[in-house]
Amino acid sequence: MPSELEVVSITKLITNQIILGKTTRNDTHTIINDPYMIIPGVEQLQIYPYDEAILGKKLEQIKVHNDSVIYCTEAETKIKNIYLEDKIGLEKSDQSIIV
């Protein structure tokens, strides 16, 4: 089965991590380019480059076995826009999303 097109998606793992990024899937793996963590709050979502605070740099890609994925779905427009703004380096005052 060939890979699907790369789509900005939200992927939830069995570890309860929620990852946002340009995602492709194949028979065995979900590959997320430019991954960001989504951290839900009471009133808003926050996004941060995946493990950047731990590693000291942004990860270009993570590869997760599909057995570890609960779901993977295309992100809604509001979340995509915040993600894409960060990727092209636009200035913004907040990376929070009010829901």
pLDDT of residue 88: 67
Backbone angles phi, psi at 70, to 5 degrees: -80, -50
pLDDT of residue 26: 93
What is the enclosing helix (H) or strand (E) of 49? strand 44-49
Identify the CA nearest to 95 among candidates 30, 20, 23: 20
- Please check the confidence at residue 67 and state whether its pLDDT lies above 80: yes
Per domain, the residue ranges of the chain are: 7-98
Q: What is the CATH number of domain 7-98?
A: 2.30.30.100
DSSP H helical ranges for the chain: 52-55, 77-88
What is the enclosing helix (H) or strand (E) of 75? none
**pLDDT tens for each residue of 6-41:** 799 999 999 999 999 999 999 999 999 999 999 988
pLDDT band at 43 (very low <50, low <70, confident <90, very high): confident
